[in-house]
Amino acid sequence: MDAAVTAALEDARFDARQNSRFEDLADDVRGRAELAEWERLDQLLAAAPAGTVYAPDTVVQAELAAEAAAAREAELREAARVAARADELHTLEQTDPREGDEAARDELTRRAGGYVQADVDAWLAHALAAHLGHYRDPTAGLLTPPVLAHAALLAELARLVPGAAVDELAFAARLATTEPEATGDLAALLARARSGAS
C-alpha cells in the first residue's frame, strides 16, 4: 500500500502543478483537498511502524472513535456542571438564576421527584416575573408553559398589588400548574385592564 500512496501523492502533486499554470484551474478546491489528504496519508504511513499497511476503515474508525470520545467527555462535563448547579439550587432563596438552570431543574426532578420541581418552578417563575439574574431578559431560557404562565401572572399581580407577600401569591403556582393556558389568559386580561386604567 505504501507504493500506491506514494504514486497517488505524486499524481496529486503533478495535477496541482498543472492546475497552477491555468487561471481557471488555479482555484481547484477539490484538487487541493485531494493533495492534502494524500500528504496526510503519506505522513501517517511514514510515522507508522515498518510493515504497516494503510487500511482506510481502520483510520476512519480511529477518527470516529476519537470524535465519539471527545463528544462523550463534553457530555460528562455538562452533566457534572448541571449536577453541581442542581446542588446549588437546594438553597433557592439565596441563589440568582443563571443560564442553563432549566437543565438543573430537570436534574433535580430526576433526583428527588415532583415536589422539588414545584419549588424550582415557583422560583424560576418569580425570577422571570422580577427579571432577576439570567431572567433580566424575559426571553431567556427554555421554560415550560406553566412556568411562563406563572411568571406572567406574578408580574401582573405584583403591579396590581405591589406589597403582596410571596405567600399571598402561592395560588398563582397552583393555577399555572393545572391550567397554564387559562393562567396566561388571566395575566393578559389583567395587563389589558391595567393599561386601560392608566
Instruction: Quick: pLDDT tens for 94-115.
Output: 556 666 666 666 676 676 665 5
Instruction: Quick: pLDDT tens for 166-178.
Output: 778 888 888 888 8
Q: Are 12 and 34 in contact (CB under 8 A)?
A: yes
Residue of higher predicted confidence among 181 and 66: 181
Q: How many CB atoms lie within 10 A of CB 53?
A: 9
101 class by beta-carbon count within 10 Å (0-12 exposed, 13-18 middle, 19+ buried): buried
Q: Are 124 and 143 in contact (CB under 8 A)?
A: yes
Q: Are 54 and 43 in contact (CB under 8 A)?
A: no
Read off the pTM.
0.41
d(CA 42, CA 91): 58
d(CA 8, CA 12): 6
Q: Are 89 and 108 in contact (CB under 8 A)?
A: yes
d(CA 7, CA 38): 10
- Report residue 129 as a C-alpha cell: 416575573
Instruction: Quick: pLDDT tens for 24-83.
Output: 666 777 777 888 888 887 887 777 777 766 566 666 677 778 888 889 998 888 888 777
pLDDT tier at 134 (50, 70, 90 boundaries)? Answer: low
- Report residue 67 as a C-alpha cell: 470524535
Determine the pLDDT at residue 151: 85
